Chain A
Amino acid sequence: MAIVTQPTPAVPTPPERELPPAAGPDAPIRFFRRPTGHTGGIWGWITTIDHKRIGILYGVTSFIFFLIGGIEALLLRVQLGSPENTFLSAEAYNQVFTMHGTTMVFLVIMPMSSAFANYLMPLMIGARDVAFPRLNAYSYWVFLVGGLFMYSSFFLGGAPNGGWFGYTPLTREMAGHNIDFWVFGLQILGIASLTGAVNLIVTAINLRAPGMSLMRMPIFVWMALVAQFLLLFAMPIIAVALVLLTFDRQFATNFFNTAAGADPLLWQHLFWLFGHPEVYILILPAMGIVSEVLPVFSRKPLFGYQVMVFSGIAIGFMGWGVWVHHMFATGLGPVATSAFAASTMFIAVPTGVKIFNWLSTLWRGKIRMTTPLLFAVGFVTMFTIGGLSGVTHAVVPSDTQQTDTYYVVAHFHYVLFGGSMFGLFAGTYYWWPKVTGRMLSEKLGKLNFWLMLAGFNLTFAPFHILGLQGMPRRVYTYPENRGWDFWNFVSTLGSFLIAASVAVFLYNVWKSRHNAKVGDDPWDARTLEWSIPSPPPEYNFAEVPLVTARDDLWHRKYVEDENGRPVLREPVQAEADDKGPPPSADDGGGERPDEAPEGEHAEEEPHIHMPSPSYWPAFSAVGLAVLCYGLMYKTWVVAVLGAIWILGGFYAWALEPATAPEEPELEPTAEAELAPVGAPAAETAGEE
């Protein structure tokens, strides 16, 4: 149908006016009134397709899951705080550790990285939104539905209890629906990740502002882009594995039935072929954040931008060749293990390069000890520890001692918490003023950081010792005479220190409501998102920027003197004059409004077409849960209803005009509804 084409020209064209027949399939839409730019409150959030609001939704949701996963972690630590503790039963412990891991990986770090990528990628590349705004909304709602679906297990007979990598044949044979929630939940989350990946890849490749070549792209966008490619290729692998497991569990097929001759290692190969790239999916966006934060607060450009980009890409490729290091104890033979030992060691090279380049970025800088910087340096120092213990795992004979002990648990908490989460906290403190227009308190921020650093190390450093003393992971209890009591107790104390640091963060957020408003660029930063107001308007850039350099904003503000030191370009000038240093900047695009977004023209916002909000992404997403409940309980009526729900949602979505509807007060005639945006709708967008 013609109406699905993206209406790039803001001016209505006659052919589009001739489309009333298409209103026929539109009929079901009338059950709801189509949302508009005026739709406020909760419905405004549900129907939004603004990448910034979706980014905020991702961020808030994943942070709530972070709190839940953290509470689970505290439960685990209380149970292990003393030997032979009975605080949690074996069953409860197994559910909680499975959900802790699954939550932190799939419901916290991945979506929180998505939050940053969603919010920042268009801003950093000078775009007005992502490539597929409705698909973007769909990704978020599918993620939320997947998370809620998985957590509904706690109320429906028990949460998943087979560990976050769900080894078969255990997960094939376990009774109850616990594992089914995990299988279907991950399948739903996979859809969210895949659609998100496609969207962000197209965004980064196609929507960059004029002049922003790939090698001028901010490093965060680069790292997020590599992570999206990893997602694009990794998620289908786990989807396949989960489909096989689903068939085994629901329809008694024999993919993993060892009694029928299946090889359980099939699952492990599939899972880790997904699972190792997944590790880099979790770390690369945080590496990107750190690579943005360190230069800003060192007042130096990122050291070795090209090497940082290429090492990120190298990690992306090499990440596919190391999965067997999760399986060194499975008896694959000396040749296979040697090959993967070598590949695992050599993936440390591009990672090491990054660490040295971060260090060199700080070197001889003018380091401002702000909270974002502290968290970013926390990332580098803690990630280094995790990286080094990672190298010791590559030494296969040693790994046969270390694997599946707390030494491994220490390792991956140093890379995922000390790494990813510290990076995400750095990003949160750094971009908070951009998103909200207000600063977080630096005082509380530093308290947050130091508490978290101390708590983190108190919790996880003892895991190294416990692991070397032979404490296996995933044990709900341990006897007294193993010598593990002391360090477990210390670790439990540390975990509450982390909880305290998170409480400080929450208080900081709560208190920031009253903080003073900040300007566009409170950190004196380098990238485009700081050239627009805080918070940014719906359309991001009143004028699509013309990019002339890497760190374009910095070069608009500063020139270098003969010693290579930055000197303010025009120290006293107002920011409005900073736009587009070269005079040729203004001939960039025909649809641009007149100059001067400030001053008395400010209210006559430019006629920028923004895609219109929609109910259908959220609606379709909910259908997935219906379908999966139906399949899980083998209630075929519900499953079919779910399928119809999804397809119906897609159908209505496809037929819904991409343009905004008329004002809701008007009787929505077919013609009115289809009237492409033109001037009135754009004003709507501007007022928001």
Chain B
Amino acid sequence: LENRPGNRECKDVVTARRKGWRTGRGPVLAAMLLLALTGCAENAPQDFLEPEGPVARTIDGLQKPVFLVAGVVFVLVEGLILFAMFKFRDRPGRAEPEQVHGNTRLEVGWTLLPALILFVIAIPTIKTIFDLSNTDEGALQVTVTGHQFWWEYRYEDSGVVTANELVMPTGRPVELTLESVDVIHSYWVPKLAGKTDVIPGRTNRMSFEADKPGTYLGQCTEFCGLSHANMRNVAVAMAPADFDRWVADQRRPANTPPDGSPAAEGLQVFNGRGCSGCHRVEGVSEGNIGPNLTHFASRGTFAGSMFENNPDDLRTWLRDPQGVKPGNLMQIPGAPLSSDEITKLIAYLETLN
């Protein structure tokens, strides 16, 4: 998780594409052209034309042929228009045109032809809609709760609660139960699946699976207020054994810092400056407004995955949470945290692995 999220992906994606070329697997020319245009010349970790799981791949397999059909129609229609503009433009000596008012047979033809094309597209579309609505047996059940502006995950089997980073095993589907405590959000990991809205008062479901271990980026895609842009998420897929180890780690109680250490002073700041009112640390505090911090140090990102979990970013965040993430609910009561307090807090937070 120390990697900056996304860097690794691009390499994967690039190799995947090379492989695609070599084996001749992979879609038709036009779609490849589109890929080349939009693909990973730069690092585009949210590019959904490079799926990394079966659900996203199913969608991709439907999307690219449609792009191809649209591309053909595009070339045809625009080509005809340009041709007409060139060929029939007014030149000296050009005769007045014949006054054609219409042609029923042609018009019936170009009513039926698009209808036919669309009918052909509709069949696999509807089939895929129903295929994707089936849920898999034996999926890992996770309840996702949208908050302004971060995500909370509750693993139903193990009781593990974490934030922003969905940790999942490879080769096994995850079924998400989506709920919101405030406004409408939308949950999305582009390389793994399409998005599903997260609506207060309703329960939506989505499921997806990752092919191989990796970090997959996503973000909230329904405008949810001031810091909508800063509400991001990460899916971390790991081998099943690693995942089991992760669950076991998450189920441990929070570490208690040794007396007299800076971390122990940080714990005092945590309790004394109001952090504990909102954040839960198992065995230390009962807050339930902000993210559960029991295993904070095990996460790669924080604050709606907008920061990497390192001392510098933590300092930036704790110095002025409203300044760097406007409109979020973290209000530090009283005076801003002093530099010293922040140092101690960071020391404490780093023990919570």
Interface residues of A in 286-343 (CB under 8 A from B): 298-301, 303-307, 329-331, 333-334, 337-338, 341-342
Interface stretch, picked from B56-64, B235-243, B267-275, B340-348, is B56-64
Residues in A with CB closer than 8 Å to B201 are 258, 261-264
Interface residues of B in 97-125 (CB under 8 A from A): 97-103, 106-107, 110-111, 114-115, 118, 121-122, 125
Q: What is the CA–CA distance of A174 and B84 in the complex, to the nearest angstrom?
A: 53
The yes or no answer to A381 lying at the interface (CB within 8 A) is yes
Q: Which residue of B lies closest to A568 (CB)?
A: B96
Residues in B with CB closer than 8 Å to A475 are 219, 228-229
Tell which of B4, B97, B186, B204 has the most Cβ of chain A within 10 Å: B97
The yes or no answer to B184 lying at the interface (CB within 8 A) is yes
Residues in A with CB closer than 8 Å to B58 are 397
Query: Closest approach, in angstroms, between the C-beta of A436 and any C-beta of chain B?
Result: 25
Q: Is the CB–CB distance between B70 and A481 below 8 Å?
A: no
Query: Closest approach, in angstroms, between the C-beta of B318 and any C-beta of chain A?
Result: 19
Residues in A with CB closer than 8 Å to B49 are 468
Which among B111, B129, B186 is the interface contact of A397 at CB below 8 angstroms? B129
The yes or no answer to B213 lying at the interface (CB within 8 A) is no
Interface stretch, picked from A505-513, A559-567, A627-635, is A559-567
Query: Closest approach, in angstroms, between the C-beta of B183 and any C-beta of chain A?
Result: 4
The yes or no answer to B43 lying at the interface (CB within 8 A) is yes
Q: Is the CB–CB distance between A173 and B183 below 8 Å?
A: yes
CB-CB contacts of B183-224 with A at 8 A, as 1s and 0s? 110101010011111011110110000000000011111111
Q: What is the CA–CA distance of A307 and B88 in the complex, to the nearest angstrom?
A: 23
Tell which of A303, A400, A475 has the most Cβ of chain B within 10 Å: A400
Query: Closest approach, in angstroms, between the C-beta of A345 and any C-beta of chain B?
Result: 4
CB-CB contacts of A375-408 with B at 8 A, as 1s and 0s? 0010011001100110110111111110111000
A-side interface residues, number (CB < 8 Å): 101
The yes or no answer to B331 lying at the interface (CB within 8 A) is no
The yes or no answer to B80 lying at the interface (CB within 8 A) is yes
Q: Assuming the A-B contacts A258-B201, A398-B59, are A482 and B70 also in contact, with contact meaning beta carbons closer than 8 angstroms in the complex?
A: no
Which among A163, A342, A478 is the interface contact of B223 at CB below 8 angstroms? A163
Q: What is the CA–CA distance of A391 and B190 in the complex, to the nearest angstrom?
A: 20
Query: Closest approach, in angstroms, between the C-beta of A224 and any C-beta of chain B?
Result: 22
Interface residues of B in 39-67 (CB under 8 A from A): 40, 42-49, 56, 58-59, 62-63, 66-67
The yes or no answer to A169 lying at the interface (CB within 8 A) is yes
Q: What is the CA–CA distance of A333 and B230 in the complex, to the nearest angstrom?
A: 29
Q: Is the CB–CB distance between A364 and B62 below 8 Å?
A: no
Q: Is the CB–CB distance between A341 and B77 below 8 Å?
A: no
Which among B115, B125, B190, B327 is the interface contact of A470 at CB below 8 angstroms? B190
Which among A258, A348, A565 is the interface contact of B96 at CB below 8 angstroms? A565
Which among B37, B115, B197 is the interface contact of A349 at CB below 8 angstroms? B115
Q: Is the CB–CB distance between A482 and B46 below 8 Å?
A: yes
Q: Assuming the A-B contacts A300-B97, A397-B132, A565-B95, are A346 and B118 also in contact, with contact meaning beta carbons closer than 8 angstroms in the complex?
A: yes
The yes or no answer to B133 lying at the interface (CB within 8 A) is yes
Q: What is the CA–CA distance of A184 and B244 in the complex, to the nearest angstrom?
A: 55
Q: Is the CB–CB distance between A394 and B125 below 8 Å?
A: yes
Which among B88, B196, B306 is the interface contact of A331 at CB below 8 angstroms? B196
Q: Is the CB–CB distance between B98 and A563 below 8 Å?
A: yes
Residues in A with CB closer than 8 Å to B182 are 169, 173
Q: Assuming the A-B contacts A263-B201, A474-B223, are A300 and B100 also in contact, with contact meaning beta carbons closer than 8 angstroms in the complex?
A: yes
Q: Assuming the A-B contacts A345-B122, A364-B98, are A334 and B133 also in contact, with contact meaning beta carbons closer than 8 angstroms in the complex?
A: yes
Interface stretch, picked from A17-25, A133-141, A351-359, is A351-359
Q: Is the CB–CB distance between B129 and A396 below 8 Å?
A: yes
Q: Which residue of A lies closest to B99 (CB)?
A: A564
Q: Assuming the A-B contacts A170-B224, A300-B97, are A349 and B111 also in contact, with contact meaning beta carbons closer than 8 angstroms in the complex?
A: yes
Query: Closest approach, in angstroms, between the C-beta of A319 and any C-beta of chain B?
Result: 17
Which among B42, B88, B111, B197 is the interface contact of A329 at CB below 8 angstroms? B197
Q: What is the CA–CA distance of A163 and B183 in the complex, to the nearest angstrom?
A: 14
The yes or no answer to B288 lying at the interface (CB within 8 A) is no
Query: Closest approach, in angstroms, between the C-beta of B72 and any C-beta of chain A?
Result: 10
Q: Is the CB–CB distance between A170 and B183 below 8 Å?
A: yes
Q: Is the CB–CB distance between A338 and B183 below 8 Å?
A: no
Residues in A with CB closer than 8 Å to B56 are 401
The yes or no answer to B25 lying at the interface (CB within 8 A) is no
Residues in A with CB closer than 8 Å to B94 are 366
Q: Is the CB–CB distance between B197 and A331 below 8 Å?
A: yes
Q: Which residue of A lies closest to B111 (CB)?
A: A353
Query: Closest approach, in angstroms, between the C-beta of A83 and any C-beta of chain B?
Result: 11
Residues in B with CB closer than 8 Å to A566 are 96, 99
Q: What is the CA–CA distance of A563 and B103 in the complex, to the nearest angstrom?
A: 17
Q: Assuming the A-B contacts A264-B199, A331-B205, A367-B88, are A353 and B98 also in contact, with contact meaning beta carbons closer than 8 angstroms in the complex?
A: no
Which among A89, A264, A486, A565 is the interface contact of B184 at CB below 8 angstroms? A264
Residues in A with CB closer than 8 Å to B126 are 338, 341-342
Q: Is the CB–CB distance between B106 and A360 below 8 Å?
A: yes
Which among A380, A400, A465, A564 is the interface contact of B100 at CB below 8 angstroms? A564
Which among B80, B194, B200 is the interface contact of A258 at CB below 8 angstroms? B200
Residues in B with CB closer than 8 Å to A367 are 84-85, 88-90
The yes or no answer to B21 lying at the interface (CB within 8 A) is no
Q: Is the CB–CB distance between B102 and A306 below 8 Å?
A: yes
Residues in A with CB closer than 8 Å to B178 are 331
The yes or no answer to A106 lying at the interface (CB within 8 A) is no
Q: Is the CB–CB distance between B107 and A304 below 8 Å?
A: yes
Interface residues of B in 312-328 (CB under 8 A from A): 326-327
Q: Which residue of A lies closest to B183 (CB)?
A: A170
The yes or no answer to A426 lying at the interface (CB within 8 A) is no
Q: Is the CB–CB distance between A468 and B121 below 8 Å?
A: no
Residues in B with CB closer than 8 Å to A360 are 100, 103, 106
The yes or no answer to A365 lying at the interface (CB within 8 A) is yes
CB-CB contacts of A258-290 with B at 8 A, as 1s and 0s? 100111110000000000000000000000000
Residues in B with CB closer than 8 Å to A578 are none
Q: What is the CA–CA distance of A366 and B125 in the complex, to the nearest angstrom?
A: 43
Tell which of B44, B67, B218, B225 has the most Cβ of chain A within 10 Å: B44
Query: Closest approach, in angstroms, between the C-beta of B6 and any C-beta of chain A?
Result: 5
Q: Which residue of A lies closest to B51 (CB)?
A: A401
CB-CB contacts of A178-197 with B at 8 A, as 1s and 0s? 00000000000000000000
Residues in A with CB closer than 8 Å to B327 are 90-91
Q: Is the CB–CB distance between B88 and A481 below 8 Å?
A: no
Which among B4, B44, B195 is the interface contact of A469 at CB below 8 angstroms? B44
The yes or no answer to A368 lying at the interface (CB within 8 A) is yes
Residues in B with CB closer than 8 Å to A359 are 77, 80-81, 84
Query: Closest approach, in angstroms, between the C-beta of A307 and any C-beta of chain B?
Result: 5
Query: Closest approach, in angstroms, between the C-beta of A244 and any C-beta of chain B?
Result: 16
Residues in B with CB closer than 8 Å to A369 are 85, 89-90
Q: Is the CB–CB distance between B122 and A400 below 8 Å?
A: no
The yes or no answer to A61 lying at the interface (CB within 8 A) is no
Q: Is the CB–CB distance between B99 and A300 below 8 Å?
A: yes
Q: Assuming the A-B contacts A468-B47, A564-B99, are A170 and B184 also in contact, with contact meaning beta carbons closer than 8 angstroms in the complex?
A: yes
CB-CB contacts of A451-485 with B at 8 A, as 1s and 0s? 00000000000001100111111111111011111
Residues in B with CB closer than 8 Å to A473 are 221, 223
Residues in B with CB closer than 8 Å to A265 are 199, 202
Residues in A with CB closer than 8 Å to B114 are 348-349, 352-353
Query: Closest approach, in angstroms, between the C-beta of B259 and any C-beta of chain A?
Result: 40
Known contacts A353-B110, A369-B89, A484-B44; 8 further A-B pairs (Cβ under 8 A): A162-B223, A265-B202, A334-B129, A356-B107, A360-B100, A362-B88, A464-B38, A565-B98
Give 19 A-B contacts (CB < 8 Å), ordered by A residue.
A90-B229, A170-B223, A264-B200, A265-B199, A299-B96, A299-B97, A300-B99, A300-B100, A329-B197, A330-B199, A331-B199, A364-B98, A366-B95, A391-B66, A401-B194, A403-B195, A474-B229, A476-B228, A567-B96
Interface residues of B (CB under 8 A from A): 4-7, 10, 34, 37-38, 40, 42-49, 56, 58-59, 62-63, 66-67, 70, 73-74, 77-78, 80-81, 84-85, 88-90, 94-103, 106-107, 110-111, 114-115, 118, 121-122, 125-126, 128-130, 132-133, 178, 182-184, 186, 188, 190, 193-197, 199-202, 204-205, 217-230, 306, 326-327
